Amino acid sequence: GFQDFINASTKYELMTVHNLFRKLTHRLFRRNFGYTLRSVNDLYIQKDFSILNDFRNNMKTYYFADAQPADFSDPNFITKTNERILKLTKGLIKEALVN
């Protein structure tokens, strides 16, 4: 049950978990099950930190996420990101980030 799910990382190799998540995400978002499933898979990393190419590539490959530098202290970044999330979730998530 749920406890097995929580302990999954101790039972599987790390790459197995990444691959299973990729397959699950692909199946949920690429098939027509009679509903619409939306997700915002952006990954923002404080601009002072460097993003390794391997990490960036793995995020795209396994999580369909684009790792991007961000300035969390910039109100324009917060506004722009919230507007993107608002649009992608069709208004369901109004303020994911707060200033």
CATH number for the domain spanning 97: value is 3.30.497.10
pTM (2 d.p.): 0.65
Q: What is the pLDDT of residue 10?
A: 63
Same structural domain, 55 and 89: yes
Regarding whether 91 and 70 lie in a shared domain, the answer is yes
Tokens of 22: 């990729």
Same domain, yes or no: 49 and 69? yes
Q: C-alpha angle with apex 77: 52 to 97, nearest 5 degrees?
A: 95
Please give the residue range of the domain that contains residue 58. Answer: 38-99
What is the tally of structural domains in the chain?
2
Q: Tens digits of per-residue pLDDT, 7-42?
A: 655 666 777 777 887 888 777 777 677 777 777 788
Secondary structure class of 71 (helix, strand, coil): coil
Q: Do 58 and 89 share a domain, yes or no? A: yes
